[in-house]
């Protein structure tokens, strides 16, 4: 068991510095992961080997000597180069899917917390690269030359974080965490009210809605085909308050309305987000948006 005095929470930016591109995949090295999970690298790899059927090649693979040399050269450009030195065997690296599997193998509170932080780091990096390609294209050569210090880079990152918005996305079968994270980000945008139109609602839906900001009311309208009970609603309101659920059968599709200002069309019940391929799109047409909001009311 890990020492309770050891730090558990690591900043996402620190984790992002441990993510490398190898064989066209974003991966993390076993020694970095063992440090984050607060176990020795040898014990970490032994735990994985005991559950090796959970880690196919696309989840975990061993570096070649050439790949290891390239990895050390990447590290040397950003640190003192000693981070992964002195190994007797080529390291193993884990892809995002492999890291998602680790919390089930290591089975500790630390493993769960660290896995969540790591998955957040992967999601943020991917979202950053995909969503902001256009902004980097618009930066001219003079501006790029000025990005010489971490302070200036931080200003760019902060600007991008406040000025950009992902208005639509498609999640494919298995992208459960990505879909979960995206929907939670939408829920957290609300400052006053959330309206969810969804015919299949259960406690998984409430697990997403509980991420709302304090004081935000939640209204769910649906056909009642889900497994949500009045007891579930009471338990939610006992801790988070503001939830109202009403039955109505005049909607087929799913929608999320934020503060009566933003409307998102969701291709699947949010309780099943990521279990099958589906899309989320922001409705921009003001007339369509206003008509839907009036219809719900």
Query: Using one digit for the tens of pLDDT, what is the confidence trace for 47-68?
Result: 999 999 999 999 999 999 999 8
Q: What is the pTM of this model?
A: 0.47
Cα–Cα separations (whole angstroms), residue 31 to 50, 89, 91, 216, 264: 18, 12, 8, 43, 42
Mean pLDDT of 229-243: 93
The contacts of residue 166 (CB under 8 Å, 6+ apart) are 127, 131, 182
Count: domains in the chain: 3
The last residue of a domain, from among 102, 125, 148 = 125
Which of 12-21, 256-265, 273-282 shows the highest mean pLDDT?
256-265
Cα separation, 199 vs 248, in Å, equals 9
Please indicate, yes or no, whether residues 83 and 143 belong to a single structural domain of this protein: no
Identify the domain containing residue 185 by its residue range.
168-296
Establish if 5 belongs to a structural domain.
no
Please indicate, yes or no, whether residues 172 and 159 belong to a single structural domain of this protein: no
Phi first, then psi, for residue 19 (nearest 5°) are -95, 130
The contacts of residue 245 (CB under 8 Å, 6+ apart) are 201, 219, 220, 221, 222, 228, 233
Please indicate, yes or no, whether residues 142 and 106 belong to a single structural domain of this protein: no
């Amino acid at each position: 068991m890990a020492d309770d005095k050891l730090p558990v929470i690591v900043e996402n930016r620190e984790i992002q510095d441990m993510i490398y591109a190898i064989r066209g995949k974003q991966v993390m090295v076993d020694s970095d992961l063992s440090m984050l999970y607060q176990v020795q690298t040898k014990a970490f790899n032994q735990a994985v080997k005991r559950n090796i059927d959970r880690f196919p090649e696309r989840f975990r693979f061993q570096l070649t000597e050439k790949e290891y040399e390239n990895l050390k050269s990447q590290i040397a450009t950003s640190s003192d180069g000693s981070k992964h030195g002195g190994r007797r065997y080529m390291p193993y690296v884990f892809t995002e899917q492999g890291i998602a599997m680790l919390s089930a193998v290591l089975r500790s509170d630390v493993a769960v917390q660290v896995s969540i932080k790591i998955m957040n780091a992967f999601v943020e990096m991917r979202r950053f690269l995909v969503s902001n390609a256009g902004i980097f294209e618009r930066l001219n050569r003079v501006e790029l030359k000025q990005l010489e210090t971490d302070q200036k880079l931080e200003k760019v990152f902060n600007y991008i974080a406040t000025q950009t918005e992902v208005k639509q996305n498609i999640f494919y079968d298995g992208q459960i965490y990505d879909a979960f994270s995206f929907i939670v980000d939408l829920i957290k945008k609300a400052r006053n009210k959330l309206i969810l139109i969804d015919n299949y609602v259960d406690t998984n839906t409430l697990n997403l809605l509980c991420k709302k900001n304090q004081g935000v009311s939640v209204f769910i309208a649906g056909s009642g085909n889900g497994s949500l009970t009045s007891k579930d609603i009471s338990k939610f309101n006992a801790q988070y308050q503001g939830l109202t659920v009403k039955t109505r059968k005049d909607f087929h599709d799913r929608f999320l309305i934020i503060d009566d200002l933003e409307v998102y069309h969701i291709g699947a019940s949010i309780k099943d987000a990521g279990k099958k391929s589906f899309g989320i799109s922001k409705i921009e047409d003001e007339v369509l948006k206003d008509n839907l909001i009036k219809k719900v009311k």
